[in-house]
Chains A and B, each alone.
Chain A
Amino acid sequence: IAGITQAPTSQILAAGRRMTLRCTQDMRHNAMYWYRQDLGLGLRLIHYSNTAGTTGKGEVPDGYSVSRANTDDFPLTLASAVPSQTSVYFCASRVTSGGAQNEQFFGPGTRLTVL
């Protein structure tokens, strides 16, 4: 693995189904983020984690949950998908120590369609 990977690449899901989007990074970044991208609305933060074992709510957290059991993985779960959750989901990470620049590194995204 190099950088951030996301799975699946795309998914069509029936409304009401449970779905987990996976995100894994091998850069040992302590902070990780989940965004959704919708046309004309840019990138909106769903949940974030500053370090393993902690999570926080972003701008649009309703209907989503996350966990951060270790540094590398940050899965995003939709407990009961609804059509308004149709979007492209991006996972991102960044290092927050050692005076590093604040840039975030993004995964390739998951395109989710909820019917």
Chain B
Amino acid sequence: GQQVMQIPQYQHVQEGEDFTTYCNSSTTLSNIQWYKQRPGGHPVFLIQLVKSGEVKKQKRLTFQFGEAKKNSSLHITATQTTDVGTYFCAGPETSGSRLTFGEGTQLTVNP
């Protein structure tokens, strides 16, 4: 079946440093989604990328979808303590009705 892998599993940064998490799928994806889960909270949708090579920005967050639509990345510029949490990527299965989530990258930001 489809596999979605994320690296790194954990990332500790000093406030102000940049952060990147990478997502790789075993199959070509029609789209990729990113979610953020704050400690003790539930996953919250951040963004969806659909086009090959697409880049989208949300303030300090930059999301990229690879040309082959099998990988994606999330980059945070100048991290803040409010960025703490686990970031998940997710890709739809062929049927489109279900998502396969990556294992997530847990970000810790030291003030």
Chain A bound to chain B = yes
Interface size of A by CB at 8 A reads 26
A interface residue numbers (CB < 8 A to B): 31, 33, 35, 40-45, 48, 50, 56, 58-59, 90, 92, 96, 101-109
B97 & A101 in contact (Cβ 8 Å cutoff) = no
Please, how many angstroms separate the alpha-carbon atoms of A59 and B9 in the complex?
21
Evaluate whether A102 and B31 lie within 8 angstroms (CB atoms) in the complex, with A40-B103, A43-B101 already known. yes
Question: Shortest CB–CB separation between residue B87 and chain A, in angstroms?
Answer: 11
Question: Shortest CB–CB separation between residue B73 and chain A, in angstroms?
Answer: 17
| Chain A CB within 8 A of B88 CB | yes
Question: Shortest CB–CB separation between residue B54 and chain A, in angstroms?
Answer: 14
In the complex, given contacts A43-B104, A56-B97, what are 10 additional A-B residue pairs having Cβ atoms less than 8 angstroms apart? A40-B103, A42-B6, A42-B88, A42-B102, A42-B104, A45-B100, A50-B97, A90-B42, A102-B31, A104-B33
B42 & A33 in contact (Cβ 8 Å cutoff) = no
| Chain A CB within 8 A of B20 CB | no
B42 & A109 in contact (Cβ 8 Å cutoff) = yes
Of the candidates A31, A41, A107, the one whose C-beta lies within 8 Å of that of B42 is: A107
| Chain A CB within 8 A of B98 CB | yes
B45 & A40 in contact (Cβ 8 Å cutoff) = no
Please, how many angstroms separate the alpha-carbon atoms of A44 and B102 in the complex?
9
A contact residues around B48 at 8 Å (CB) = 101-103
Please, how many angstroms separate the alpha-carbon atoms of A11 and B92 in the complex?
31
B43 & A90 in contact (Cβ 8 Å cutoff) = yes
